[in-house]
Chains A and B, each alone.
Chain A
Amino acid sequence: MTLPLLTKEQKLGMYRKMLLCRMFEDRVNSLFLQGRMPGTIHQAQGQEACAVGVCEALREGDMLTSTHRPHEHAVARGIPVKFLMAELFAKSTGCCHGKGGSMHMGDADRGMLPAIAIVGGGIPLATGYALSFKYLKKPNIAACFFGDGAVNEGIFHETVNMAAIWNLPVLFICENNKYGASTLIDSVMKVKVSTRASAYGIPGSTIDGNDVFSVYQATMAAGERARTGQGPTLLELETYRFAGHSRSDPGHYRPKEEVAEWKSKDPITRFETHYLAEGLLTSEVIESYRASVELELNDAVEFAESSPSPLPEECLADVYVE
């Protein structure tokens, strides 16, 4: 399949999304350090190209599931950051009414199921959505993000196999950031994640997860397959999280040189360097984008901090679907 060339607007749109993801995470970290935001958080700085590249290839009506590291997925999927910020402040205006928090970002009405923190937990749910799309003859697809650690969970095998035999419209997207918490993936796996696909008879490929256009194109191609009834695809996006597994993890298990090497492959810097040279970006454009994102985040924080907390009597609301 030949993909249509991206327009200038599309490229800049993806750039701003990546900036929004990164600056959202940085702002959350700062709020945490100031003691204004509670709780431990799993941050995704460094993985913006995965979130944005995949979400850009999804359409309205498609469904995304996520992991314990969902902030950037939710931002990229287009859930307004003020609802995400309010959720992190545990406010009733949050995307889960303040009752989900960091690890349950999402909004089914906006195409992303509230994230599931259980490793691999989103994989069968996305596949369930895919089954329903096929059954109801809808033109949509489902996609699930999961980490390299999830690939050795039993649910991964069971679900991918089922999706394969039924040709379900689902994309299995592994964000391989090399570490399952502190466990180096090479120490628990002898093959590349994408090679697992052949065991189920579906296509699998390994993509540079720090290049937003590679991710976008691979997801578009896989999406096209899924939408035309040809079944699922496994995509392995090679990336890296700059921070530790969570705020309480300094990440000492990673060599300093490795962290430095990946920071030099920062997806946002790479985009900027490339397009500054090509002329799409100028330092003024970058500044104006950063300033506008900054304002959007200021508004989000103000919205969140001035929002009411959930009421105790709402505790049991939204537990079951009526």
Chain B
Amino acid sequence: MKHVIIMPDLGQTSSEAKIVSWLKQPGDKLAMGEPLLEVETDKATMDVEAYVGGFLRRKLANEGDMVAASNPVAILTDTLDEEFDEDVKAKSKSVAPLGTTERAQATTSVSVSGNVAALPAARMMAKQLGIDLSTVRGTGPQGLITKADVERSVSQGGKAAAPNHESKAREAMAALTSRSKSTIPHFYVTLDLDMAAAEGWRARWNQSHPELKASVNDCLARAASAALADSPRLNARVSDGKVEQQSTADVLVVVGVDSGLLLVPVADPHADAVESFLERMKTAQSSAKDGKLHAAKVTPLLAISNLGMFGVREFSAIIPPGCNAILAAGALRDQVVWRNGRAEPVSVCTATVSADHRAVDGIAVAQFLERMQFHLNSL
């Protein structure tokens, strides 16, 4: 008589196991309960025993193979030379390994709230970066998503990228933006920021620190952070009816790379000395571009995106999930304004804040921009 040996459901967090080694070869005799093969689960290496005695006739999987629970791994027969058919469909009323079906579906769909298998560290990182885990391809055991997977998914120019990496990144962006735009009630507030004072400061700084120059974006990030610290309503996380005031004014800087956009969290950009702030900005942005993004300990509520370097006059951006608002800055342009009864040359930057009306209203955003102007004047 033929007996089909299956992979038992040995895991605690997954329903697959890897075959480490065969302890018997075809033709070998086994007693009931004798170990047949050694497998590696997500937790440990252990033996799979034969539930009946007999002779091993067929090995249905090789060493190194991942086999899902309930799948056949071997055929045994009662005698060494009896004929048997190769049909290995489990004849028993097999029990569906609990949880596997949903898990498999979740990883192949782009559902935003699916039950995706990911390590806690990866989950936290994805949350910080506003990444939808269901769009991340897991490379850990049994397709588990690791921190490295999340990093790779974000840093689209990654070196160890998987073949379909770029399309994955696009998919991630598609999922992220459509989720944001369809669930967050966006509204927009636009203001021309007077950059004269800031540009004056920047020119002086760059002259005295040629090795650590400040960009317009650096000035905007620092002033925005300082303004955020003055804007408690914008810097509070609202979820489930609870208001959680942030103690630091963190900013998410949008950085462009060859294949897309990166969201780089910067902790409290206004809080330290200019030198260390500029160094942190540079490190964060360059390591992000190199695909070496490290999980930040902060989850900013304000993002900054800047298309000024392309001469864009103004634009409005989509709020990254998890943020209350995003500031979109255009190019600096020189113009003449009529002020105090006379024409004055000024340098302006048109800033448009897209904000989540569930969290803040127009007055709060306007006051934030007012504070930002103040801090640009006093860099």
Contacts and interface: CB of A to CB of B under 8 A. Distances in A.
A250 B46 contact: yes
Contact of A248 (B11, B70, B92, B94): B11
Given A30-B51, A35-B70, A249 B95 contact: no
Contacts of A36: 92-95
A249 B92 contact: no
A40 B93 contact: no
B98 interface: yes
A7 interface: no
Contacts of B80: none
Interface in B91-113: 92-95, 97-98
B95 A248 contact: no
Report, as a range, how many residues of chain A touch the other chain.
10 to 19
A212 B33 CA distance: 26
B9 A38 contact: yes
B47 A250 contact: yes
A247 B6 CA distance: 15
Interface in B71-99: 90, 92-95, 97-98
Contact of A35 (B45, B49, B52, B95): B95
Nearest to A90: B95
A259 interface: no
Nearest to A247: B10
Given A35-B92, A37-B95, A38-B98, A247 B8 contact: yes
B49 A248 contact: no
Contacts of A40: 9, 12
A38 B11 contact: no
Interface in A54-81: none
Given A39-B98, A249-B44, A32 B93 contact: no
Contacts of A33: 5-6, 8, 48-51
A293 B69 CA distance: 30
A136 to B, nearest CB: 43
B41 interface: yes
Nearest to B11: A248
Contacts of B297: none
Interface residues of B, number: 28
A245 to B, nearest CB: 11
B95 A252 contact: no
Interface in B22-74: 33, 41, 43-52, 69-70
* Most B C-beta atoms less than 10 A away, residue of A40, A247, A250, A252: A250
Contacts of A38: 9, 95, 97-98
Interface string A278-322: 000000000000000000000000000100000000000000000
A32 B98 contact: no
Interface in A1-55: 26, 29-30, 32-40
Contacts of B49: 33
A55 to B, nearest CB: 27
Contacts of B50: 33
A250 B45 contact: yes
Nearest to A40: B12
Contacts of A29: 51
Contacts of A26: 33
B12 A248 contact: yes
B93 A305 contact: yes
Contacts of B12: 40, 248
A26 B49 CA distance: 12
Contacts of A37: 95
B44 A248 contact: yes
Contacts of A252: 44-45
A16 to B, nearest CB: 22
28 contacts: A26-B33, A33-B8, A33-B48, A33-B49, A34-B6, A34-B51, A35-B8, A35-B9, A35-B69, A35-B90, A36-B92, A36-B94, A37-B95, A38-B98, A39-B9, A39-B98, A40-B12, A244-B46, A248-B10, A248-B11, A248-B12, A248-B41, A248-B43, A248-B44, A248-B46, A250-B46, A252-B44, A305-B93
Instruction: Return the 5 tightest CB-CB contacts between A and B, nearest first.
Output: A250-B46, A33-B51, A38-B95, A30-B51, A35-B70
Interface of A: 26, 29-30, 32-40, 244, 247-250, 252, 305
